[in-house]
Amino acid sequence: MFGHDVDSLRALNENGYDPAALYESNQELKLVLDMIRSGYFAPQQPDLFAPIFDSLVRQGDYYRVLADYETYVACQADVDSAFQDHREWTRKSILNVANIGPFSIDRLVKEYAANVWSAKPVATDEAV
């Protein structure tokens, strides 16, 4: 796993989260976000992904995505390294599937919404 837990997110928010400062201080992150903003990934429509940049850097990064960037990159490097040992990767994959029973993405999202964002469920008439 990577990223902030509930307590560190609260502390981050209380101390004044500044995504623009993260953008300016991490050259790799800045390069990636500048590529997104510049139209690199959609040269036929250069402004297509600019709202992503604005949401993350200029509009406050509501979901604190940039705050987890460095730990995500480190976690992904660990995954890449682990994959090189194919026998151990296979063993871990099998154990992961065998132990997935207690995991529920629905439960995880519900807990995260309640504990991190203080979001309340909204009743609907639609069956999901």
Task: Decide if 10 is inside a domain.
Answer: yes
Task: Decide if 108 is inside a domain.
Answer: no
Say whether pLDDT at 64 is over 70: yes
Task: Decide if 13 is inside a domain.
Answer: yes
Task: Decide if 65 is inside a domain.
Answer: yes
When comparing pLDDT for 114 and 91, which is higher?
91
DSSP-assigned letters across all residues of 43-109: TTSTTTTHHHHIIIIIS--TT-TGGGHHHHHHHHHHHHHHHTSHHHHHHHHHHHHHT-TT--HHHHH
Task: Decide if 22 is inside a domain.
Answer: yes
**Half-sphere exposure (CA, 13 Å, Cβ side) for 63?**
7
**pTM of the entire structure?**
0.73
How many independent structural domains does the chain possess? 1
- Domain containing 80: what range? 6-84
Residue indicated by tokens 């709202």: 51
